[in-house]
């Protein structure tokens, strides 16, 4: 199963690492994906939009006031 995790902080990072350890195909969406590569060995990294598109399931671990607008973009591609 493909899972997209939006957010690479303590919550999102912990969830992503655990799911990857359980064998799931995980992609983490982060504003600083290129800077975070060392923190997520073996886990795909990209933008929040890319992670949302990747996942059959999507975990939202973004702050209450996210600084991205990935929801509308992901919804529009999911319908096609």
Number of compact structural domains in the chain: 1
E-assigned strand segments in the chain = 2-6, 25-29, 44-46, 57-60
Q: Which domain holds residue 42?
A: 2-78
Residues of the chain short of pLDDT 70, as ranges, are 66-80
Provide the CATH number for the domain around residue 45: 3.40.50.720
The predicted pLDDT at position 32 comes to 86
pLDDT at 56: 96
71: Cβ contacts below 8 Å, ≥ 6 apart? 52
């Amino acid at each position: 199963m493909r899972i997209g995790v939006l957010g690479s902080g303590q919550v999102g990072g912990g969830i992503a690492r655990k799911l990857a350890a359980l064998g799931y195909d995980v992609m983490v969406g982060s504003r600083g994906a290129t800077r975070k590569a060392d923190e997520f060995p073996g886990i795909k990294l990209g933008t929040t939009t890319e992670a949302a598109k990747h996942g059959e399931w999507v975990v939202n671990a973004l702050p209450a006031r996210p600084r991205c607008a990935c929801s509308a973009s992901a919804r529009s591609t999911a319908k096609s």
